[in-house]
Amino acid sequence: MTTGIGARVKRREDKRFITGKGKYTDDVRTENQAYAAFVRSPVAHANVKSIDKSAALEMDGVIDVLDGHQLTGDGIGNIICGWAVTSKDGSPMNMGAWSALATQKVRYVGDAVAVVIAETQQLARLAAEAVDVEYEELPVVAFADKALKDGAPQIHEEAPGNLIYDWEIGDAAKADAGLAEAVHVTEMEITNNRLSPNPMEPRSAVATYDEAEDHYTLYTTSQNPHVARLVLSAFYNVAPEHKLRVIAPDVGGGFGAKIYIYPEEITCLWASMKTNRSVKWTADRSEAFVTDAHGRDHISTAKMGFDADGRITGFKVDTIANLGAYMSLFSSSVPTYLYATLLSGQYDIQNLHANVRAVYTNTVPVDAYRGAGRPEACYLVERMMETAARELGMKPAELRAKNFIREFPHETPVIMTYDSGDFDANLAQAEEAADVNGFPARREEAAKRGKLRGLGYSCYIEACGIAPSAAVGGLGAGVGLWESAEVRVNPVGTIEILTGSHSHGQGHETTFAQIVAERFDQPIENISIVHGDTDKVQFGMGTYGSRSGAVGMSAIVKAMDKVEAKVRKIAAHQLEASEDDIVIEGGEVKVAGTDKALGWHEIGLAAYTAHNLPPDMEPGLKESAFYDPSNFTFPAGTYICEVEVDPDTGTTEIVQFTASDDFGTIINPMIVEGQVHGGIAQGVGQAMLEQVIYDEDGQLITGSYMDYTMPRAADLPNFSVHHASTVCPGNPLGMKGCGEAGAIGSPPAVINAITDAIGNNDLAMPATPQNVWRAYQAASAKQAAE
C-alpha cells in the first residue's frame, strides 16, 4: 500500500494552497460587511484621561466608535489566563484584570483603547487616527529583572512588586547538597531572547451577529476553535455556546500565537451585535508585532555540579520569566510546567531544583511559541552540558553519554516520567551522519582559509501530546487535554473523518487520511478530513504542543476500532461466518481463507439500508470517540551543528546541520522532515537573527522586518535529517510528535558550535555578526593577556 503509514504521500491540501485557492479568514466576505480598526496606545504605561470620539464619528462612512466602558458595561468579561499556577508559599498567582478594550489604564504600546467600525478598512483606519485619546503617562518598566527591583513602576495593583508568582519544583536541599559534594561546578547566566511568532498569515476575525436568530458566527485564525468558543462563551460572556459558531478555515501558520483568544476577536463579536453589522478585522504586520503574543524572554542563572567521573551531582536553576503586561491564556504554564519539568534533559539527575518568578512588564503579553518552555529548558541544559564538558576537558558527547538515562520508565525529580527512548542510538546516528571524526581535519582546513570552524551538540528531550487531563488538571489547567474524533462511513463507502485537531500547516488532511487508508485498506481519495468548525466537529482541544498525532490521531484510531467492530458484525451476519474470521483486506471485507467477501461499499450500503442487519443493531456506520492520553510523549534526539566564523566580521555560516530524531512511529516521513526543517529554521532564527527589542520607555523598536530579522533560505544549510525511533508505549500508534523538536533542539547546537569556534562560552542569542565578533575579540584579548 503506497498511501498508508510510512508512505511519502504528497500533501493533499497543497493543491489549493499553491494555486492560491486556500480560503483564509480574510477571504470571507459577508453581505453587510463593515470593518474594524483599533485605536492603540502609543505609550507603554498611562492613565487614560479621556477619549474624544467626536471627530471620528462625524466622518463619512463611520458606523460607530466603541470604547472599553461600553464593552464592560455590556458585561463582556475580562480576558483570563486558563492555567492557575500556585506560588511556593501556597498563594494563588496574582492575575491583573485585562479588558479587551482598556478602560482606565494602558499597559503596553499597542494596548487597544477603542475600536472604529466603518464601511471600509481604509475609512476605519483614517477614523481611528481621528480619535483623540488623552494619556497621563506613568513610569515604565520593560525588562523582567528591573520589574522585580524595589521601587519599580507598579503595573497591576493585583500583583505587588509586579510578581505574578514565585514557584518552585524539585528539592532545593538535595540540589544544594549535590552541588556541595561536586568536584566541579559549572555556573552560567543564560538569557533566552524574546521572539515574535510571525506566522505568514496575520490574525484575522470576521464576526457576524444574526439578530433574527440571536446567533453569532466567528471566522477566525485559530488553532483551536472549540476552545475559542468555550472561552468566549464561559468567560467573556459574548454568547452561550449553542448561540456561537466558531470557524477556523485555512490558517496560515500558528506557532502558538493563534491558540489564544485576543481582545480583537472578542471586540469584533461584541461590535457586531452593537452595530448589527458583520465586523471584519485583519492585522497588518505592524499590528501583529504589537498584538500577537510574544515568546520566550527568560533570564536564568544555573549551577550544575559534577563528580570526578563526570556524573551530575546536582543542578539548580533560578529563572525570571517576563509575561508582559497581561497574562495571556496559557502564559502561566509555559515557564513552569512546560519548562522546569524538562530540566532533567536526557540525563539521570537525582538532585534538581528550579525556582521561577514570573513578572509583569510594560510589554506585549508573552505566551507559548513553538516549543513553549521546552526550548528554554533545552537551551539551558544543553549550554550547561557543553560548557561543562569544555571546563572538564571531556568530549561533549562523552559527558552526555555518561549521564544518559538508559532505563525506562524513568521518573525525574521534576515530575516527568519518561516512557521510552534510546539516547545512545540518536547520538551515534547523528555523530556518524555528521562525520564528527572528520571534524579536526575540516577545522584545520578552514583555518588555512582564515575561518574558525566549530562543532556543537544538543541532546534534546521534550514533552508532547499534552496530556492526561486529570494530570494537567491537578497542575492547575482549566481545561482537559483529550481529543475527539468521529468516523463516518457513508452509504457509498467513502469516509469522512471529523477531528478536533486543527491543521494550520501540519498536513493533517494527508496524514490523518493515511491512517484511515491503512486501517480500512481504502483509496486515500475516498477519505476526507473535516476540521475547524464547531458546527461540524463535536468538540476538540485543537492543535499545539505536537499533540495532533499522539492525541488527535489516537482519537481517530479509537473511533475506527468501533467502526471496525460494527463492520465485522455486519459482515459476519451477511456472510454467515464468525466475527473472528472476518478480515479487511484488499478493499474488501472477507471471511479469512475463503472466497466469501463483501465490498467495502457494500458494507456501507448495508448499514444504511438496514435491510439485513444483525438483530438489535442500530442502522448507520458512524462512530465517535474521545481519547485521553495516559502520559505525555517524549520525543528526543541529537542535533549537531557545524559552523564557520569569519573572525574579522563575526559573520557565521552554518555549514552543516545534522538531526537524529526519535519521534516514535512516523506516518509520513516527507511531512515529518518538513516539520523538522521548519523547526530548525525557526531555531536558527532564534539563535542567530531574531530578537524583539524594547527601549527603556517600553517602545517596541523592532516592529517591522527592517529591524526584526527572520531566517531566509540563504541563512540555512541543506539539513541532514535522520530518524532512530523507539515506539511510544502510551498511544495506539506509538507516536511521539515532531512539530516542535526542530525549534527546541537547534538553538543550543548552533550556539555551542559558535562558542566552540570562537573559544568563548559567553555568547548570548541572537549570535549576530556584531555579538560574535565582540565575543571573539574578548576571548582573543583574554588569551593575549594570559
Partner 1 sequence: MDMTGEHIIAAPREEVWAALNDVDVLRACIPGCEELEKTSDTTMEAVVKQKIGPVKATFKGAVELENIDAPKSYTIRGEGQGGVAGFAKGGADVSLEEVPEGTKLSYTAKAQVGGKLARLGSRLIDATAKKLAAKFFDNFQKHLNGPDASEEEAAG
Kindly list the residues in this chain that would bind partner 1 in the complex (CB under 8 A).
39-44, 109, 125, 128-130, 286, 289-290, 695, 697, 699-704, 706-707
Shortest Cβ 207–partner 1 spacing (Å)? 22
Q: In three state form, how does the secondary structure of 197-216 look?
A: CCCCCCCEEEEEEECCCCEE
Rg of the chain over Cα atoms, rounded to whole angstroms, equals: 27
- When the beta carbons of 130 and 354 are compared against partner 1, the nearer one is 130
Shortest Cβ 110–partner 1 spacing (Å)? 9
The β-bridge partners of 650 are none
- When the beta carbons of 114 and 320 are compared against partner 1, the nearer one is 114
| Three-class DSSP category at 497 | strand
Shortest Cβ 699–partner 1 spacing (Å)? 4
d(CA 157, CA 160): 6
Shortest Cβ 700–partner 1 spacing (Å)? 5
Q: How many helices (H) and strands (E) does the chain have?
A: 20, 28
| Three-class DSSP category at 20 | coil
- When the beta carbons of 135 and 404 are compared against partner 1, the nearer one is 135
d(CA 127, CA 115): 10
Cis amide linkage into residue 335, ω under 30° from 0? no
| Three-class DSSP category at 775 | helix
- When the beta carbons of 106 and 763 are compared against partner 1, the nearer one is 106
d(CA 387, CA 697): 35
CB-based contacts of 596, cutoff 8 Å, min separation 6 = 575, 577, 590
Strands 278-282 and 410-411, sheet pairing: unpaired
- When the beta carbons of 44 and 388 are compared against partner 1, the nearer one is 44
- When the beta carbons of 181 and 707 are compared against partner 1, the nearer one is 707
Shortest Cβ 279–partner 1 spacing (Å)? 19
- When the beta carbons of 62 and 427 are compared against partner 1, the nearer one is 62
Question: What secondary structure letter does DSSP report for 366?
Answer: B
Shortest Cβ 368–partner 1 spacing (Å)? 23
Joined together, the cell numbers standing for residue 540 give 476538540
d(CA 696, CA 699): 7
- When the beta carbons of 41 and 686 are compared against partner 1, the nearer one is 41
Q: Sign of the CA dihedral 531, 532, 534, 536?
A: negative
In degrees rounded to 5, what are phi and psi of residue 622?
-150, 125
d(CA 540, CA 745): 29
- When the beta carbons of 33 and 702 are compared against partner 1, the nearer one is 702
Q: In which order are the strands placed within the sheet that holds 184-195?
A: 163-170, 352-359, 312-322, 295-306, 184-195
Shortest Cβ 37–partner 1 spacing (Å)? 9
Shortest Cβ 142–partner 1 spacing (Å)? 12
The β-bridge partners of 656 are 642
Q: Are 296 and 271 in contact (CB under 8 A)?
A: no
- When the beta carbons of 27 and 129 are compared against partner 1, the nearer one is 129
- Count of residues making up the chain: 786
d(CA 696, CA 693): 10
CB-based contacts of 167, cutoff 8 Å, min separation 6 = 85, 86, 87, 88, 336, 355, 356, 357, 358
d(CA 223, CA 235): 19
CB-based contacts of 129, cutoff 8 Å, min separation 6 = none
Shortest Cβ 56–partner 1 spacing (Å)? 11
CB-based contacts of 581, cutoff 8 Å, min separation 6 = 572, 591, 592, 593
Shortest Cβ 128–partner 1 spacing (Å)? 6
- When the beta carbons of 325 and 464 are compared against partner 1, the nearer one is 325
- When the beta carbons of 42 and 440 are compared against partner 1, the nearer one is 42
Q: Are 635 and 461 in contact (CB under 8 A)?
A: yes
Q: Where are the alpha helices (DSSP H) in 685-740?
A: none
- When the beta carbons of 62 and 641 are compared against partner 1, the nearer one is 62
Shortest Cβ 192–partner 1 spacing (Å)? 23
Q: For the purposes of burial, counting CB atoms within 10 Å of the CB of 91, is it exposed (0-12), middle (13-18) or buried (19 or more)?
A: exposed
Shortest Cβ 424–partner 1 spacing (Å)? 48
- When the beta carbons of 78 and 286 are compared against partner 1, the nearer one is 286
Shortest Cβ 706–partner 1 spacing (Å)? 6
Shortest Cβ 702–partner 1 spacing (Å)? 7
Shortest Cβ 162–partner 1 spacing (Å)? 21
- When the beta carbons of 363 and 387 are compared against partner 1, the nearer one is 363
Question: What secondary structure letter does DSSP report for 310?
Answer: S
d(CA 607, CA 567): 9
Break the chain down into helix, strand, coil percent, rounded to 5. Answer: 35, 25, 40
CB-based contacts of 771, cutoff 8 Å, min separation 6 = 650, 763, 764
Shortest Cβ 394–partner 1 spacing (Å)? 44
- When the beta carbons of 1 and 701 are compared against partner 1, the nearer one is 701
Shortest Cβ 267–partner 1 spacing (Å)? 17
- When the beta carbons of 264 and 662 are compared against partner 1, the nearer one is 264
